[in-house]
Amino acid sequence: MKRIVPLWITAIVGLVLIISNFLPGTRSWGEEATTWFGIIAAVAFVLGGGSLLKVHLKKISDRNSGWAYSMIVLGTFSATLAVGLFKIGVSPNPAFPDVPWSGDVQGQGTPFWWVYEYVFKPLTATMFAMLAFYIASAAFRAFRAKNFEAVLLLGTAFIILLGRTFAGYFMTSWIPVDGPFSGLRLEELSVYIMQVFNTAGNRAIIIGIALGIAGTSLKILMGLDRSYLGGGD
């Protein structure tokens, strides 16, 4: 029972969605299923919040090391949740001022927006920006021209790095634009690499992945691959 029901759900949903591509009469079934999927995806956000709460509450009650940080997580979590769920400080929708809950919780000036603008945004953006530093460090310590393959990788990277800035233009601007060697200008060369070599490599990867996805999807829908239910079989 624990295994059979999910397998049937997967198979039925999958079958409906696949045939809705080919039998126009069943198209609306597919639409319903994908809309439900979106709703469930939104519920998954709630699940994410709930799991977070559970994990950190446990950490605090166990007095695990770093439980103070769990307090911070819980504190910011509940504060954000409160201002968002209860629409604290949100003015009503100007078209319906008599409905107090009609306001836009993400609108500029609301406390929820404040959390986004001054906490969420700088934190996530800075986390991402740190990559520039790591990439520099990796360049110095990890990218070695160990063999021919690595030389190809690094050489291509150099051409792209130079060709996509003013430096590339500056270095090879002496090559005439309409002469037979115009293709050697770095900005031209980088375009050529992208459109031929990169396209060829990525095309093979894309075709391979498409086959892999089709194969795996098939196994999942037929119940041959049950790893998503946990466990190997």
Partner 1 sequence: MKRPSSLLQTNSLLAMLTVMVMISGAFAAPPAPTDVVAEDLPADGGGAAVVTWTIPEGVDGLEGFQVWRTETVSESTSRVGNERGAALLAIQNQAYANEYQRLVDVEGVAPEDASMQARAVARQAVIDQRTSVTPTETGPHGRFWVLVDTVSDDTDRLQVGKLSPSDEYRFMVYTVAKTSDGGVEKSAASAESGMVLPVASGIDVKRLPLFFILALLCGAVLFFIYWARSGRPITIRKIAGLSAVDEAVGRATEMGRPILYVPGIQDMDDLQTVAGITVLGRVAKTAAEYDARIEVPTSRSLVMSAARETVHSSYLAAGRTDAYNPDLIYYVTDEQFGYTAYASGLIVREKPAACFYMGCFFAESLILAETGNSVGAIQIAGTAMPSQLPFFVAACDYTLIGEEFFAASAYLSGQPDQLGSLKGQDMGKIIVGAVLIVGCLIATAAVVTGSESLMHAVDWFKGSVLSA
Partner 2 sequence: MNRQQLTLLSIVGIFVILLVARAFTGNGFGRIYVERGDASFVKVEVPVLDTPDGEEAEGKADGVRWTWVDASSDEAVDFAKAESPRAAWESVTPVSPRVYFEATIANEALQAAAETAYAGAMTGVDLGTALETWRLALLEKANAVAAGKAQPAVEVNWAALRTAGFTRKTSISAKAGGDFTASLDAIFDAARATGESDAETTFVVADGRGTVTTTADDVVPAIGLSWSRTIGLWLAAIFTLAIFSFLYKDNPLYKTAESVVVGVSAAYWMVIGLWDMIVPNLLGQLAPGFVQGNLIPGLAASDPNWAYLVPAIFGALLLMRLAPKGQYLSLWTLAFIVGTTAALRMVAYIEGDFLSQINATIAPLYQEVVNADGTVNGYSSFWASVRQITLVIGVLACLTYFFFSVEHKGAVGKVARVGIWFLMITFGAAFGFTVMGRIALLAARFEFLFDDWLWLIDPMNQRSAAVAVSCLF
Partner 3 sequence: MNLIDRMANLDRRWIFLMMGLAVGIPIIVIGITGKTLPEEPTPLAQAAFDVLDDLEPGSRILMAWDFDPASEGELGPMATSFIRQCAQKGHRMYFIALWPVGAQMIRSSTSRVIGGYYPDLVYGEDWVDLGFKAGNEAVIKTIVTDFAQYFPTDARGTSVDAIPMMEGISSLANFDAIVNASAGYPGSKEWVLYAATPLKKPLIVGCTGVQAPQMYPYVPNQVQGLLGAIKGAAEYESVVNKWVRSEQMLDALESGGITEPASSELAARFAANPSEASTWTTEAAAAAMSPEAKTRLIELASAPTPGIFLEAQRRMGPQLVAHLLMIGLIIAGNAIFFATRRRGGSQ
Query: Binding of partner 2 at residue 52 (CB under 8 A)?
Result: yes
Helices (H), the chain: 4-22, 27-62, 67-85, 111-115, 121-141, 148-163, 166-171, 186-192, 199-221
How many Å apart are CA 211 and CA 197, to the nearest integer? 21
Query: Binding of partner 2 at residue 146 (CB under 8 A)?
Result: no
* Binding string, residues 88-127; x marks residues near partner 2 by CB under 8 A: ---xxxxxxxxx-xx--xx-xx--x-xxxxxxxxxxxxxx
What is the smallest separation between the CB atom of 18 and partner 3, expressed in angstroms?
A: 12
Query: Binding of partner 1 at residue 143 (CB under 8 A)?
Result: yes
Q: Which is nearer to partner 1, 35 or 227 (CB)?
A: 227
Candidates 11, 18, 74, 154: give the one binding partner 3 (CB under 8 A).
154
The binder of 72, among partner 3, partner 2, partner 1, none, by C-beta within 5 to 8 A per type, is partner 2
Beta carbons within 8 Å of 77's beta carbon, 6+ residues apart? 49, 52, 53, 56
Residue 207 burial class via C-beta count within 10 angstroms: exposed 0-12, middle 13-18, buried 19 and up = exposed
Tokens standing for residue 38: 């979106």
Site residues for partner 1 per CB under 8 A: 21-25, 27, 44-45, 47-48, 51-52, 55, 123-124, 127-128, 130-131, 134-135, 137-138, 141-143, 153, 202, 205, 207-209, 211-220, 222, 224-225, 227-233
